Structure 1
Amino acid sequence: MDASVTPIPDQAGLSLVQTTDFFYPLVDDPYLQGRIACANVLSDLYAMGVVSCHNMLMLLAVSKEFTEKERDVVIPLMMRGFQDTALEAGCLVTGGQTVVNPWCTVGGVASTVCTKDRIILPENSSPGEVLVLTKPLGTQIAVNAHQWIDDPERWNKISGVTSVAEVKAGYRAATLSMARLNRIGAQLMHKYGATAATDVTGFGILGHATNLAQNQIKNVHYKIHTLPILTNMSKIAKACGNMFQLVQGYSAETSGGLLLSIPKDKAAEFCREVEELEGSPAWIIGTVEEGVHGASIVQDPTVLDV
């Protein structure tokens, strides 16, 4: 499961739901990096259908390589981004830990107490349902390509298929996507009867789909037929050979969308309401079929430029 669920002794029906995560900076805006880090931590609660977070702790490592000026500018911005996102999620950052480290890292701990009916365990998917994704793929390619603008050797690998303007546009779209909370998706999971979900992060869409399918009670196989990908990222990934394995489903994502199994007759309305409330689309990307626990991507999947 994406978050731990621990029944509270002597408190009938109540459980502590908790998760933690942290990573290295991947964007060049400290404020947005703080937002991404907080959104990434909270996604593990949202993947369990847990909408309300009662408490956030911040985990922050300040690089010993920072100059005093860099530290005094970067760290407050990163902390503000994290705190603003926590407030957007309806919770406060009440503490945490800050250390000096060779590398700058940022993350946190999200905790909440709730009843069982507010948790959607990721195990009840059934044949005949469909798979929905709430954020586009391709964030790793967007971030790497943006870094390569200043690295002539690496830029030469992709300069024949893209431009600096395209890469910067993709990077901006990826940054905004990563900084967006999955809270609305979690709320709508309850409204539309989602039966299982996870958030798409380091294992890629196929890796996480496989993990989710293997956790189901019923014998199901997830078949992915559509890949919504940030515009221009699929051609950049192709130019890099097998480096990212984007279309193969293994390209890592950061603070990705929710991948959920939902009744077929409710999926289109779920996607419509996500777009209405967030201003960003969600997509039906696959089917849930009877079969051996696992997942696959069809040959020649439909690639949507987002």
Structure 2
Amino acid sequence: MDSSITDTKIKGVKLVQTTDFFYPNVDDPYWQGRISAANVLSDLYAMGVPDVDNVLMLLGICRDPRMLRSDRDAAARLMMEGFRDTCAQAGTCVKGGQTVMSPWFILGGVATTVQSSVAIIYPTASRPGDVLVLTKPLGTQVASNVHVWLKGREQKPERWDRVANIITEEEAVAAYETQILTMSRLNRTAAKLARKYGAHGCTDVTGFGLLGHAQNLASNQKRPVEFVIHTIPVIKKMADVNARVNYRLLEGKSAETSGGLLIALPRDRAHLLVDELQRLDGWPAWIVGDVQPTFDTTARTARIISDPTVVEVDYRSYDHWNEDGNAEVVGWEEGWERFADERDN
């Protein structure tokens, strides 16, 4: 399961808790903070728990002597700010944590809530006839690496040269900005809708890729079922890049960061969830697979069909949540100006 569930002294009340952390995978420390918080909270959302009672922040501050202290301090402050802002957006707050010196920046946390046992979506109840819904596009690992190759093309031109005839510099930046937006986006609305529409199981798609997490979810089912994935939504151009460098994206084995929820729910309710999520969050979701019966009573498996439908998901502009909670467009130059201001002050 994505979170631990512990009995409390109160009958019918459970303690739901998770912890996670990782290293920076984007350039902007503020957005890295937002991504890290969204990733931590997502494990609770995967249990159908939309309200988080407490968050602890875990921060490792880089002690690499090659990094100026002013840069280090500014990056740490902005990462913490982004983390706190996303927790506030989620209706919770950071109430403590731990900070250490580390060879690298590390950011993560612990998220905890107390929840009625009947309000938790246990990842065990999918049945033949259900469908699988995915609430974020895939391709974050590919988009992140393409951006690294673009930025480092003067030092290691051979990396960018491998894909330069497939994707333009502008498209590489647009894909990178899109993956930042999708990674920092909360799965909270999706968790609420999963409960509303009677989900039979749920997980979030992160480091093991779409297929890995689908297999893990399938293995926990009470009934013998097979998850058959027929559709793969991917950030625009990332499937083309993958065809050249092969991160096994279309095999469902490319790692994702702070990915979407993979939800098993009744077929007649899936379109309702997809449509409402689009209306509330402004982002699409997709019916990506079916839950099928299997005659092997010991089987609980997942697979991707040999020729899945690939849905290209268009780019989104880079934005920043202002003090009023509204999105405003901010280019990378302005993002780095904010970093410089924080560093110099």
TM-score by length of 1: 0.98
Quote the residue 1:34 is aligned against. Answer: 33
Report runs of 4+ in structure 1 exceeding 2 Å deviation.
Answer: none
Query: Is the aligned partner of 1:254 residue 2:253?
Result: no
Quote the residue 2:46 is aligned against. Answer: 47
More moved, 70-79 vs 15-24: 70-79
Quote how far apart the aligned CAs of 1:72 are.
2.1
Quote the residue 2:174 is aligned against. Answer: 169
Match of 1:294 among 301, 324, 339: 301
Where 1:304 maps in the other structure, the secondary structure is strand
Quote the residue 2:120 is aligned against. Answer: 119
Quote the residue 2:323 is aligned against. Answer: none
Quote how far apart the aligned CAs of 1:15 are.
1.0
Query: What is the identity, as a one-letter code, of the residue corresponding to 1:30?
Result: P
Query: What is the identity, as a one-letter code, of the residue corresponding to 2:175?
Result: G
CA distance in 1, matches of 2:214, 2:115: 27
Quote the residue 2:222 is aligned against. Answer: 217
Query: Is the aligned partner of 1:263 residue 2:266?
Result: yes
1:163-212 superposed Cα distances (whole Å, 9 cap, x missing partner): 11111010010000000000000000111010000000000001100110
**Which structure 2 residues correspond to residues 81-100 of structure 1 after superposition, within 5 A?**
81-100=82-101
Quote how far apart the aligned CAs of 1:68 are.
1.1
**Which structure 2 residues correspond to residues 229-244 of structure 1 after superposition, within 5 A?**
229-240=234-245, 242=246, 244=247
Quote the residue 1:69 is aligned against. Answer: 70
Query: What is the identity, as a one-letter code, of the residue corresponding to 1:218?
Result: R
CA distance in 1, matches of 2:204, 2:113: 18
1:272-304 superposed Cα distances (whole Å, 9 cap, x missing partner): 000000000000000000122111111110000
TM-score by length of 2: 0.87
CA distance in 1, matches of 2:115, 2:218: 26
Aligned residues: 303
Where 2:252 maps in the other structure, the secondary structure is coil
CA distance in 2, matches of 1:96, 1:51: 21
Quote how far apart the aligned CAs of 1:13 are.
1.2
Quote how far apart the aligned CAs of 1:67 are.
1.8
Where 2:308 maps in the other structure, the secondary structure is strand
Match of 2:276 among 266, 270, 273: 273
Where 2:279 maps in the other structure, the secondary structure is helix
What is the aligned-residue identity percentage? 52
1:209-231 superposed Cα distances (whole Å, 9 cap, x missing partner): 01100110000000000000000
CA distance in 1, matches of 2:173, 2:237: 11
CA distance in 2, matches of 1:28, 1:118: 38
Quote how far apart the aligned CAs of 1:12 are.
1.2
CA distance in 2, matches of 1:77, 1:103: 16
Quote the residue 2:3 is aligned against. Answer: 3
Query: Is the aligned partner of 1:305 residue 2:306?
Result: no
**Which structure 2 residues correspond to residues 104-143 of structure 1 after superposition, within 5 A?**
104-143=105-144
CA distance in 2, matches of 1:91, 1:269: 28
Structure 2, gaps ≥5 residues long: 314-345
CA distance in 1, matches of 2:199, 2:51: 17
Query: What is the identity, as a one-letter code, of the residue corresponding to 2:4?
Result: S
CA distance in 1, matches of 2:238, 2:179: 10
Structure 1, gaps ≥5 residues long: none
Cα RMSD for the two superposed structures: 0.7
Query: Is the aligned partner of 1:159 residue 2:159?
Result: no
Quote how far apart the aligned CAs of 1:162 are.
1.0
CA distance in 2, matches of 1:5, 1:299: 37
1:249-294 superposed Cα distances (whole Å, 9 cap, x missing partner): 1000000000010100000111000000000000000000012211
